[in-house]
Amino acid sequence: MKVETRHQPSFATARIQLAPGEACQAESGAMAAHSFGVQVEAHMQGGLMKALSRSVLGGESLFITTYTAHPQQAGWVDVAARLPGDVLVFDVTPGSGLILTRGSWLASASTVTLDTKWGGAASMFGGEGGFVVHASGRGPVVASCYGAVDQHDLPAGGGFTVDTGHVVAYEEAVPRPALRRVSKGFMTTMKSGEGLVFDFVGPGTVWTQSRNPNEFLSWISRASPSRQ
């Protein structure tokens, strides 16, 4: 499986190239197009309980769609996110997994396993519901972000602070981020409009998005006419 991206960074699409008989898995509704001969099948990866856990707790769909190229012919699948923005392509290997925040997983190789993992109280109070998606195994993983993506390569002991709604993914080796209020004073928090932030400390890599989908939804809610 190979992944090619285009239309970056505002309206990115990922094209997954499949060898004859090769398969990939994608978030329900993520497919934009596919070549002739590709077989499409929806299923609950890992059974009902794991699928429910991934859907309810991890923010992903209950069903995962599998795309399989014809046994005698290569094929391709285009996947795209619901919100405008970029896509990221990762390669996971055994013992070196990836943590994805709610709703950011888009597609991956059939050899990659998705599990719901407790992200700690920081994730719960940070707006992520307490659970994150853990991608493990071997192969490419495609994730989406709202806006453009930034990559932060952290040395051991080095770190940075990021608003909770701007986190997309981080390497499994990165320690769990610490959650705190951006300011100690309540009035300062109210005046600045900033709320909760994560403190990430290396070593490892963290990926963030330039836009916050939660803030976008809040803006839509405020701008919409009130229902009578």
Mean pLDDT by groups of 10 residues along the chain of 228 residues: 95 97 94 96 61 45 84 97 94 94 92 76 44 89 95 96 93 90 56 69 96 85 69
Name the token pair of 118: 């407790």
pLDDT at 118: 58
pLDDT at 219: 82
pLDDT at 78: 98
Going along the chain from its start, the domains and CATH numbers come out as: 2-223 (3.60.160.10)
pLDDT at 210: 95
Q: pTM of this prediction?
A: 0.80
pLDDT at 45: 57
pLDDT at 48: 46
pLDDT at 57: 43
Cβ-contact 137, 114 below 8 angstroms: no
pLDDT at 222: 80
pLDDT at 139: 97
